[in-house]
Structure 1
Amino acid sequence: MQGTNIAGVQFKRAGKIYDFIYKNINLRIGDQVVVETQKGLGTGKVVVIGFQDGEQSSQKELKPIIKKVIKDGKNEKKSQDRKLSDEEMSDLAKKKISKHKLKMKILKCESQYGGNRVTVYFSSPGRVDFRDLVKDLASGLKARVELKQVGARDETKLLGGLGVCGREYCCSSFLREFVPVSIKMAKNQNLALNPNKVSGGCGRLLCCLTYENETYKTLRKTLPPIGSLVASRLQNFSGIVQKSDLLNQVVQVKVETSEGNSEIKTLPVAELTMLKKSNN
């Protein structure tokens, strides 16, 4: 069968996956490869392997995988060694920032394959004129330097850490792309609207609020609002809904007894019929 071998490559942990074509290379998931990118050669990790036959039309022309990095080959690693390590580049960048008296926080430095291009990620409360800094860094690193300012979410993704759940941040461990999160999702899940409870390490709303939001929306559709008049299909009585349990799909209903008193009954939603819906 005629077609094209395609490999999905990620350049960062939990980063976006990019497709590349390859020929005459025996690849497995987990292999480190050298690929051609828009910014030059780069190294990444193979996370997906696929095949595209001739009948499938590709929307865009894919760039090739140049070669596979030999895991146990020290000579291969030496051939791509930079003049400085990522940590050393970060230290140099911090010294240069202090020299130029700029309000910037260096987050991470990354070098392209071969060390001819360096990307410096930083955060800042406002816009920064770093033109002189770029020239100074390029001279010190002997490479082309690109500075990228990132927001609070991307800063947390780069640095990593532990969330309020005790696990590693979703964004730095497996979440490849950020999705919109609203305070309405927290309300929909009956969470306390305390910033310390619903905010992540970035200070923004927790990404995990989106994981179960659709389930809560579906369950809420079957739940009678508090104050609604409902009747039991299995028992001969009606009453007013006082309290509801969304996940267990049960409600507490206030029922008037024949003696003129009232009692609270806990009933499953599936057993109830809505007589009058409350506007609450």
Structure 2
Amino acid sequence: MDNIKPVRIRFLDTNKFSEVLVPSKVKKGDFIVIESEKGQELVLVMGNCVYTDDTKNYKFVRVATKEDIATFDKHEEEAEEFLNICKEEAEKLGLEMNLLKSYIPLNRTKALFYYTAENRVDFRELVKILAKRVKMRIEMRQVGVRDGVQIAGAVGVCGQQCCCNLFLDKFENITVEILAEQNLPPTPTKFTGVCGRLMCCLTFERETYSIKNDLPEIESVLDIEGKPLTVKLYDFIGEKIILSDEEGNLQELSFEELERLNLLKPKSCGSCNGCSNN
């Protein structure tokens, strides 16, 4: 038996990522068939990865054949028809749900329907109708609005494809506090993504702003070379602060110079908010 290794995979129905153990011959860009809770699935290999507990969740079946890929394509066309049927029946029943995608695994264990909804949806009657029309076992899966954009895809305000649809494997908890951390105006609507939540990219540079906890506070007065200077502004991109003297003249001081002059806040030992040891 071939040696095995963990690889990162991407699911073709949800665009989410995971890991699975595969034979060493499998390489980036290959399509493989795995066994999941949905049935046998065609997934894309993104590359090698480090072994984690998630790696044990799925079973490698085989490297995908031309027949597997043809079956997947055929099921995608069929699933699109199922989705239209589902939308039609949901509308007749007056169900308030946003249907995103239908998906059929390779071995046709079930037909899955992904949807978003603001409230709980009683879809029992819908499932009965669908089962009769498509003659398959039906599974309805409610997902969050961010998962919905990840599945359906969209273009963000930056003009690029949304990050969740391209490469994000998990969603961070993003709150309005992150705007203040990055000196952004406290207007969440300006930083709202297609999904209606704060944009995921707000977390990408968060570590850059972590030094804010060590910087002297705005409007605090520093004694530099015998002159009192007031902190007016942080410039995280330029890695400096802007200070003003008593006459209102501005000058800059880099984070490096602040550290050299011992003007950063004392590091906390964990039992208080910071102290100075003599």
Provide closer, same or farther for how the CA distance between residues 250 and 203 of structure 1 changes in structure 2, counting only shifts above 3 A: same
Q: Is the 8 A contact 1:8 1:20 kept in 2?
A: no
Aligned to 2:47: 48
Count of aligned pairs between the two proteins: 258
Q: Which amino acid aligns with 2:164?
A: C
Aligned to 2:10: 10
TM superposition score normalised by structure 2: 0.80
Structure 2 residue corresponding to 1:64, chosen from 56, 59, 67: 59
Aligned to 2:267: none
The superposition leaves residues 203-256 of structure 1 with CA deviations (integer Å, 9 ceiling, x where unpaired) of 1111111111121121x24432232221223xx52233344434321312123x
CA drift at 1:113 = 0.7
CA distance in 1, matches of 2:233, 2:53: 55
Aligned to 1:251: 242
The superposition leaves residues 107-165 of structure 1 with CA deviations (integer Å, 9 ceiling, x where unpaired) of 11111113331110112221111112112112222211100112221122222211122
Aligned to 2:26: 27
Structure 2 residue corresponding to 1:173, chosen from 166, 169, 173: 166
Q: Is the 8 A contact 2:232 2:241 kept in 1?
A: no
Alpha-carbon RMSD: 3.1
Of 2-11 and 147-156, the range deviating more from structure 2: 2-11
Q: Is the 8 A contact 1:22 1:64 kept in 2?
A: no
Q: Is the 8 A contact 1:229 1:238 kept in 2?
A: yes
State whether structure 2 residue 127 is matched by structure 1 residue 154.
Answer: no
Provide closer, same or farther for how the CA distance between residues 216 and 253 of structure 1 changes in structure 2, counting only shifts above 3 A: same
State whether structure 2 residue 95 is matched by structure 1 residue 110.
Answer: no
Q: Matched residue of 1:82: which SS?
A: helix
Q: Which amino acid aligns with 2:252?
A: L
Determine which structure has the larger strand proportion and give its number: 1
Aligned to 2:215: 223
Higher-Rg structure is 1
TM superposition score normalised by structure 1: 0.79
Gap regions ≥5 residues in structure 1: 256-261, 276-280
Aligned to 2:231: 241
**Identity among equivalent pairs (%):** 28
Q: Is the 8 A contact 1:223 1:246 kept in 2?
A: no
Q: Is the 8 A contact 2:2 2:23 kept in 1?
A: no
CA drift at 1:48 = 2.8
Q: State the 4+ residue runs in structure 1 displaced beyond 6 angstroms.
A: 57-60
Q: Matched residue of 2:245: which SS?
A: strand
Aligned to 1:138: 131
CA distance in 2, matches of 1:165, 1:18: 30
Provide closer, same or farther for how the CA distance between residues 185 and 60 of structure 1 changes in structure 2, counting only shifts above 3 A: closer
Determine which structure has the larger helix proportion and give its number: 2
